[in-house]
């Protein structure tokens, strides 16, 4: 034990920021040592971990929202149609009469932004000796085409006539490539009557080509006039297959759907698009699992590197620890020296990780240099959506977890004997 006079002298000369001052001198020491390499390695590991978490989160956000918005743009958030037990939701609908009173009731819900009528009809397209089965989605002149137009690769929207049904049709790029269809080509579209199973066809001109990148849509659906479906099925002029309903916030579509189910007639049914295409949305939900796995791995890498770094720093400065203890410094003061030093490494890694992660995300948003296979991922470029509170949460969470993990190796200082520590080489 040092004598009391030495302790009093040390206490008097020690400034308030004594531990931080020594940590700063150690951290910014330019003398070559093995610890300098370890420090740089720890900073690099923390940087890569933070950057990877930011990029992963931005990609998962962008990917889920981009793919989901494609589905919503095509079918809305909720579908309302006649209830038929055991019937597939992706099939011809049983018609019902357009009811203005019910639509007014639906519109009273402040979460609903718009309602659109539709109907579908099975058909076979014939072009240049090739045929392909499709589902014709019929819409009317009041249909809001702004969402679907964003998927156009060529051509124009349907032109609706006042007196007769439009003889134009919109096909997907996948179908156009398969059947060698070009803009303004005239196709034979064959139908089977739902009344007497008689067969008929119509000649329709291709006015537009779209590409959502979602195979389930692109290989199945073509878009035409709902009045054509009424003519083929011998429906009345006010009959439709169902309603597409769009909500302001898609995260609330389940609650809105439940409200609609309570308001609609018992013979009608309301389903969210997630219920119609569960396979796609289940696949999107799996991305959350992938995100969590990457977070765990990256956090473990950062923690292990920082713990290893701090242990090496303590071992390299063992003599200094012994001298400080000999002068009367308590264990917590010495621990703070190394915790401050490790905190500098953590902060440097987080700051560099923020710059690297956000920089790559912004570069991807501007250039789209990261490409994806659209047939597998439904998008051609990796979509990035940065949510800033999540970036701040990553930074704060990394700092807290890393700092908490640094407490454990710093406890080694309490075990060091001052005499043996000074003699340590």
Query: Residue 412 — very low, low, confident or very high, per pLDDT cuts 50/70/90?
Result: low
What are the Cα distances from residue 357, in Å, to 42, 46, 150, 283, 369? 17, 12, 29, 25, 15
Task: Judge whether residue 344 has pLDDT over 60.
Answer: yes
User: Could you tell me the sign of the dihedral formed by the alpha carbons of 288, 290, 296, 301, in that order?
Assistant: negative
* pLDDT score for 386: 94
Q: From 374, 394, 370, 393, select the one nearest 382 (Cα to Cα).
A: 370
* pLDDT score for 321: 67
- For the chain, percent of residues with pLDDT exceeding 70: 81
Q: From 208, 119, 124, select the one nearest 172 (Cα to Cα).
A: 208
Task: Judge whether residue 399 has pLDDT over 50.
Answer: yes
Please state the rounded mean pLDDT for residues 181-196: 86
Please state the rounded mean pLDDT for residues 182-200: 85
- Across 3-7, 107-111, 178-182, which has the greatest mean pLDDT? 178-182
* pLDDT score for 190: 93
Task: Judge whether residue 216 has pLDDT over 80.
Answer: no
Tokens of 10: 């040390």
DSSP H helices, 329-387, are: 331-367, 374-377
Q: From 385, 387, 383, select the one nearest 370 (Cα to Cα).
A: 383
The whole-angstrom separation of Cα 62 and Cα 381 is: 10
The whole-angstrom separation of Cα 386 and Cα 24 is: 34
Query: Residue 25 — very low, low, confident or very high, per pLDDT cuts 50/70/90?
Result: low
Query: Residue 3 — very low, low, confident or very high, per pLDDT cuts 50/70/90?
Result: very low
Please state the rounded mean pLDDT for residues 179-194: 89
| pTM for the predicted model, two decimal places | 0.78
Query: Residue 207 — very low, low, confident or very high, per pLDDT cuts 50/70/90?
Result: very high
* pLDDT score for 390: 92
What are the Cα distances from residue 230, in Å, to 94, 100, 225, 233, 366? 12, 19, 9, 5, 46
Per-residue DSSP letter, 409:
H
Q: Are 215 and 174 in contact (CB under 8 A)?
A: yes
Mean pLDDT score of the chain:
82
pLDDT in tens, 132-161: 999 999 999 989 888 888 889 999 999 998
Q: Are 421 and 322 in contact (CB under 8 A)?
A: yes
The whole-angstrom separation of Cα 424 and Cα 400 is: 33
- For the chain, percent of residues with pLDDT exceeding 90: 32
pLDDT in tens, 112-138: 988 999 999 999 999 888 889 999 999
Distance between the two ends of the chain, CA-based, in angstroms? 21
User: Could you tell me the sign of the dihedral formed by the alpha carbons of 85, 91, 96, 99, in that order?
Assistant: positive
Q: Are 13 and 329 in contact (CB under 8 A)?
A: no
Query: Residue 54 — very low, low, confident or very high, per pLDDT cuts 50/70/90?
Result: very high
* pLDDT score for 119: 92
Per-residue DSSP letter, 159:
-
Instruction: Point out the least confidently predicted range of 85-99, 109-123, 180-194, 210-224.
Output: 85-99
Q: Are 243 and 100 in contact (CB under 8 A)?
A: no
Q: From 414, 407, 385, select the one nearest 67 (Cα to Cα).
A: 385
* pLDDT score for 337: 73
Helix H or strand E segment including 10: helix 4-13
Query: Residue 382 — very low, low, confident or very high, per pLDDT cuts 50/70/90?
Result: very high
| 45-47-48 Cα angle (round to 5) | 65
User: Residue 373 contacts by C-beta under 8 Å, 6 or more apart in sequence?
Assistant: none
Task: Judge whether residue 103 has pLDDT over 60.
Answer: yes
């Amino acid at each position: 034990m040092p004598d009391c006079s030495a302790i009093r002298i040390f206490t008097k000369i020690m400034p308030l920021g004594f531990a931080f001052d020594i940590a700063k001198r150690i951290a910014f020491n330019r003398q070559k040592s093995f610890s300098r390499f370890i420090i740089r390695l720890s900073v690099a590991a923390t940087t890569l971990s933070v950057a990877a978490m930011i990029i992963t989160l931005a990609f998962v956000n962008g990917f889920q929202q981009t793919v989901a918005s494609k589905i919503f743009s095509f079918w809305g958030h909720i579908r309302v149609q006649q209830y038929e037990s055991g019937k597939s939701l992706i099939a011809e609908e049983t018609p019902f009469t357009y009811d203005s009173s019910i639509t007014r009731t639906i519109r009273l819900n402040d979460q609903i932004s718009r309602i659109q009528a539709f109907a579908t009809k099975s058909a076979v397209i014939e072009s240049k000796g090739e045929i392909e089965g499709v589902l014709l989605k019929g819409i009317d002149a009041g249909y809001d085409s702004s969402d679907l137009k964003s998927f156009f690769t060529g051509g124009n929207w349907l032109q609706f006539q006042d007196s007769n049904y439009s003889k134009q049709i919109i096909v997907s790029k996948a179908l156009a490539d398969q059947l060698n269809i070009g803009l303004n080509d005239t196709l034979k579209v064959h139908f089977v009557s739902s009344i007497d199973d008689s067969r008929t066809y119509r000649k329709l001109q291709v006015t537009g080509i779209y590409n959502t990148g979602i195979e389930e849509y692109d290989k199945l659906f073509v878009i035409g006039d709902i009045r054509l479906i009424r003519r083929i099925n011998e429906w009345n002029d006010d009959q439709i297959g169902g309603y597409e309903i769009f909500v302001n916030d898609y995260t609330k579509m389940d609650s809105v759907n439940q409200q609609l189910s309570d308001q609609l007639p018992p013979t009608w049914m309301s389903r969210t698009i997630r219920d119609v295409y569960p396979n796609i949305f289940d696949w999107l939900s799996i991305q959350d699992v992938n995100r969590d796995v990457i977070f765990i791995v990256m956090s473990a890498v950062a923690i292990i590197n920082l713990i290893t770094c701090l242990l090496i720093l303590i071992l390299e400065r063992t003599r200094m620890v012994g001298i400080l203890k000999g002068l009367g410094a308590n264990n917590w003061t010495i621990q703070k020296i190394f915790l401050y030093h490790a905190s500098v490494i953590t902060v440097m890694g987080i700051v560099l990780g923020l710059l690297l992660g956000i920089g790559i995300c912004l570069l991807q948003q501007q250039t789209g240099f990261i490409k994806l296979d659209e047939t597998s991922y439904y998008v051609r470029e990796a979509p990035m959506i940065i949510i800033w509170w999540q970036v701040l949460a990553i930074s704060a969470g990394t700092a807290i977890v890393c700092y908490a993990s640094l407490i454990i190796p710093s406890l080694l200082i309490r075990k060091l004997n001052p005499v043996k520590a000074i003699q340590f080489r």
